[in-house]
Amino acid sequence: MNIFRGIADFSHLAAIIILLHKIWKSRSCAGISGKSQILFAIVFTTRYLDLLTSFISLYNTSMKVIYISCSYATVYLIYMKFRATYDGNHDSFRVEFLVVPVGGLAVLINHDFALLEILWTFSIYLESVAILPQLFMISKTGEAETITTHYLFCLGLYRALYLFNWIWRFYFEGFFDMIAIVAGLVQTVLYCDFFYLYVTKVLKGKKLSLPA
């Protein structure tokens, strides 16, 4: 594993933990898109089905189990435990407009027409757009808590670092996975606007708020 991949995985883990911790500590999921979190739970579930079929490494298995568990815990906190604080009116992104096309694309464009491979492909495509309900929610309310922006930054950083990981792997291992690379590029691009706001506002101590 190269340095980019290593930092990326821990950045991803940090994002997940930051979100869980924020909701748990504040006893509230205000400003968090439950829809994005459900999509991430679907992403992890469909991608890590290989936990049942193959063992790659202790690291690989542990991270997968942690990601899946935290993801379901987050969904549980939002829709069950702290349901009263969930801002459903502002979480109005129509997820079927993401899931249906992404499902179709996964059936059409994949490495191998096999169940596990198609579900893996579906998870890669879905992950690339899963943050859209959250970004939509922020654009609708015009603001985000600073801790939420740290979450988004770690999540965006994770995918940006995976791009460097793939460049590294292409040069040193001759490895590349076109599906992951294209979806990863799309995913990273979606964060660019947010990265700009994060650097120009949040890192200078200001709250992230959008012009009306």
Partner 1 sequence: LDDDFEKDEL
- What are the residues binding partner 1 (CB under 8 A)? 5, 9, 12, 47, 49-50, 52-54, 56-57, 60, 63-64, 67, 112, 114-117, 120, 162, 165, 177, 180
Query: CB-wise, 67 or 198, nearer to partner 1?
Result: 67
Q: Which two tokens stand for residue 190?
A: 């979606």
> CB under 8 Å to 70, separation ≥6 — which residues?
16, 17, 20
Query: CB-wise, 93 or 191, nearer to partner 1?
Result: 191
Question: For residue 208, which phi and psi values (nearest 5 degrees)?
Answer: -80, 110
Query: CB-wise, 112 or 193, nearer to partner 1?
Result: 112
CB of 144 to partner 1, least distance (A): 26
Q: Which ranges constitute the DSSP H helices of 27-145?
A: 34-47, 58-76, 96-108, 115-129, 132-141
CB of 187 to partner 1, least distance (A): 14
Query: CB-wise, 14 or 95, nearer to partner 1?
Result: 14
DSSP one-letter code for 111: S
User: At 203, which amino acid appears?
Assistant: L
CB of 94 to partner 1, least distance (A): 28
Q: Which two tokens stand for residue 44?
A: 């992890």
CB of 56 to partner 1, least distance (A): 5
Contact by Cβ (8 Å): 134, 107? no
